[in-house]
Structure 1
Amino acid sequence: MKFGLKYIASVIAISGSLFAYAAHAELAPTKLETPSQVIASQVVSFKQDAQLIRDTYEPQLYTLPAFKMGHYGLRMYRQTLDPKYQSAIWADMARVASKLNTVAYEMNTPEQIATYSQKRLDEYVGDKDERSQRRYAATKKMPEYIYLGVGLLGSMARANEYGLQHKEDLKLREIIRRYDFKKYATDTEMIHAWAAQLANQVYWLRQLGEQDVVDDFIVAFKQAYPDSLDSTLTDQQYMNKIYGMTHIIFAASEYYQHPIKESDFQWIYDYYRKNVDTILKRSKEDVLAEVGINFLLAGQDDDPVVLAMRKAIQSSINKEKGMVPSVDGDFGLVHGEHRNVLAIMLLDWQQPHVAPTVNNQPKIFSSVPYGLVAKGNLN
């Protein structure tokens, strides 16, 4: 991690944000440390707390479901290139292969897609939380989105990142081409329900060389969430907005593989800096960590927002349990995996790596699950 004059000069500037977070978290504000103390002690303590969370998760990593195991292992591998995460990556490949096999061979007709999507959508019926109600209301008019966006695209994009594709890649692409994704990506209600997911999906489509609706989505996103109306948003909707912004950055980096040029997303970084107090007050730890990581992807390690987010996350760690609990005080490893792997990355950031890929890490792909082949190796 690099610390320049900008970092030292900016420490005092974040004091208001840190005190705001302390008040929000019902913590007694403490005296802000001097720049030398921050450099000498805080960085060490951030890394120590990241290791504390690792020590909680990694002995039990292979007890987690495949999706969670892969989520953790892939992110840690892209940070460290440590081969100890290879088995988790293979489990993720197996999950991807299973999903694409199902789509290719068992569930691809319009009737099958409609039945599957409606069944998944019906799972939201009866849920009382705002997010679920918004997702049901928005998606019931276009239920196929559940199949296309939430299922198929993510698996195809992950295989693509590995340097793989499904044996029936052309068939899968034909399914995508039946639908105009712009309809989902520019619908205000859909953005209010699925902002982060849509951000991922429009970039996945671009990555796959299919429909490119990234710019359309960003225009629609700004219209759905004008900054002037922030004060009218519920906390759930405010977090949905910030989640959407963080995932635009993540998806553009192909999930921690490529650095980001801040000027390409200046409107997002300017918003974070201007509204850091509000973000700290109104957001869960997952969101706070993602905001900080957005800056790290842009090489802005010494931006005051990063330190503010790190201190906020650090203060939320339960040292006895060795993890960041949920806002409700839950310490479940499965449900907490997302926020805790983000906390590790924020507190002990390494650097982006384009990995793992068939070409760069061939040992990981010496045996791939059925259905997946190296890109370009279709029969």
Structure 2
Amino acid sequence: MKSLILSLVVVLCLLIAMVFVEPFNQNISTHSVSHHSNDQTIIENTFKQDAALIRDTYESELYTLPAFKSGHYGLRMYRQTLDEKYAAAIWSDLARVASRLNYFSNEVHTPQQIADYTAKRISNYLTDSSERSVLRFQVTKDLPEYLYLGVDLLGSMARANEYGLKHQQDAKLREVIRRYDFSIYATNREMIKAWAAQLANQVYWLKQLGEQDVTAQFINAFKQAYPDQQDHLLSEQQLINKVYGLTHIIFAASAYYQHPIKENDFQWIYNYYRNNIDMIIERTKEDVIAEVGINFLLAGLTDDPVLLKTRSVIQKALDREHGLVPSADGEFDLEKGEHRNVLAIMLLDWQGVHHAPTVNNQPELFKSVPYGLTTK
């Protein structure tokens, strides 16, 4: 009888303990989650504050920069924020695009004119002994028209197209494009080793313009030019060229921050980043690291550890006295650092993708279009 009573007392004590302890445990768990959430919010806020610091630095001097730089910055910031304060920078970019296309359509469109133009362009590489310039000269001297077609013409036509515009002599310029088979450049491994990011842009621009679609051929050739198992054999410059190429495949596929990306469409790239992010951080530079992070944002992968790593690296690189991310050599030049710092702003304070600005969606930005451009 005593043992039965003792057993009942033990069971009763256990039940009482469970009643009081379980809410306590739930409180601990809830507090832990809440604390973690608060930590994340604090970290996110520091990223946003640092992005604001860089923005203030650049926007106080934005129109002292060349048109290409102010336009590059303003277009990206507009696509992020849809803020009309960037309208003047966008008009500046429009004027630059119009000027280039006016020049090409009027003065550089015959085979001889293109040959003369590219001869001058390629001679610039003879004065630079860097590994990148030597590679570019060696491969492009046999395909000089690429400097006109890929590096110059396609970029300007594609930018006009993104705005919902085209040049008045669009038909003439498209006839020039159609003289060339772009797969010759896009599948050449030596070209890829010299121009990976540029070729990634160009194959998507061609597709965007409704011309040749050699994106799949380019990606296949890229994989052959840069097999992952040979990364350890690459120089620093070649590793940077490879990763830039990867990031620009994603950027170009998004029409430069205008459309979201599906991770599984580019799974091989995201797998590479996850497997190699520490090596990328160690062996490349802030521009590249920021671009990798933005690739994750474009795919909506906001909780991926790779994104946090890239943001932390850029935040650590920020010089708060100068209000920007300096170059790898410690330079604080606003013009030279614009690309790196606009990427840093986007990475630290991402505001989503917007299909903008276009004539149809933001007509107020296109009330005055530079001479030579017209609606599609």
TM-score for the superposition, normalised by structure 2? 0.90
In the TM superposition, residue 129 of structure 1 has moved relative to its aligned partner by: 1.0
Structure 2 equivalent of residue 207 of structure 1? 208
Structure 1 equivalent of residue 48 of structure 2? 47
Residues 11-43 of structure 1, C-alpha deviations (whole Å, 9 max, x = no match): xxxxxxxxxxxxxxxxxxxxxxx8446413211
Q: Distance in 2 between the 1:371 and 1:182 partners?
A: 30
Q: Distance in 2 between the 1:279 and 1:320 partners?
A: 27
Greater shift in the superposed pair: 38-47 or 343-352: 38-47
Residues 100-131 of structure 1, C-alpha deviations (whole Å, 9 max, x = no match): 00011111111110111111111010312111
SS class of match (2:166): strand
Q: Distance in 1 between the 2:39 and 2:112 partners?
A: 60
1:312-323 superposed matches below 5 A: 312-323=313-324
Q: Distance in 1 between the 2:227 and 2:36 partners?
A: 36
SS class of match (1:123): helix
Q: Distance in 2 between the 1:131 and 1:335 partners?
A: 17
Bigger relative contact order, structure 1 or 2 (CA pairs below 8 A, ≥6 apart): 1
RMSD of the TM alignment (CA)?
Answer: 0.8
Structure 1 equivalent of residue 58 of structure 2? 57
Is the radius of gyration larger for structure 1 or structure 2? 2
Unmatched 5+ residue regions in structure 2? 1-34
Amino acid at match of 1:352: V
Greater shift in the superposed pair: 116-125 or 192-201: 116-125
Residues 247-291 of structure 1, C-alpha deviations (whole Å, 9 max, x = no match): 000000000000000000000000000111111101110000000
Structure 2 equivalent of residue 345 of structure 1? 346
Q: Distance in 2 between the 1:367 and 1:318 partners?
A: 39
Amino acid at match of 2:222: F
Structure 1 equivalent of residue 14 of structure 2? none
Q: Distance in 2 between the 1:245 and 1:38 partners?
A: 32
Structure 2 equivalent of residue 157 of structure 1? 158
Amino acid at match of 1:120: R
Structure 1 equivalent of residue 197 of structure 2? 196
Structure 1 equivalent of residue 30 of structure 2? none
1:244-255 superposed matches below 5 A: 244-255=245-256
Amino acid at match of 1:315: K
Structure 1 equivalent of residue 334 of structure 2? 333
Q: Distance in 1 between the 2:269 and 2:96 partners?
A: 33
Amino acid at match of 2:235: T
Q: Distance in 2 between the 1:227 and 1:38 partners?
A: 36
Amino acid at match of 1:294: N
Residues 63-103 of structure 1, C-alpha deviations (whole Å, 9 max, x = no match): 11011011000000000000000000000000000000001
Q: Distance in 2 between the 1:301 and 1:179 partners?
A: 41
Amino acid at match of 1:46: F
Q: Distance in 2 between the 1:239 and 1:100 partners?
A: 31
Structure 1 equivalent of residue 306 of structure 2? 305
Name the structure where helix makes up a greater proportion of residues.
2
Q: Distance in 1 between the 2:194 and 2:299 partners?
A: 27
TM-score for the superposition, normalised by structure 1? 0.89
SS class of match (1:373): strand
Structure 2 equivalent of residue 8 of structure 1? none
Q: Percent identity?
A: 68
Residues 141-188 of structure 1, C-alpha deviations (whole Å, 9 max, x = no match): 101100001100000000000000000010000000011100000101
Amino acid at match of 2:162: E
In the TM superposition, residue 212 of structure 1 has moved relative to its aligned partner by: 0.7
Structure 1 equivalent of residue 270 of structure 2? 269
| Number of residue-to-residue matches in the alignment | 342
Residues 198-251 of structure 1, C-alpha deviations (whole Å, 9 max, x = no match): 000000000000011000000000000000100000011001000000000000
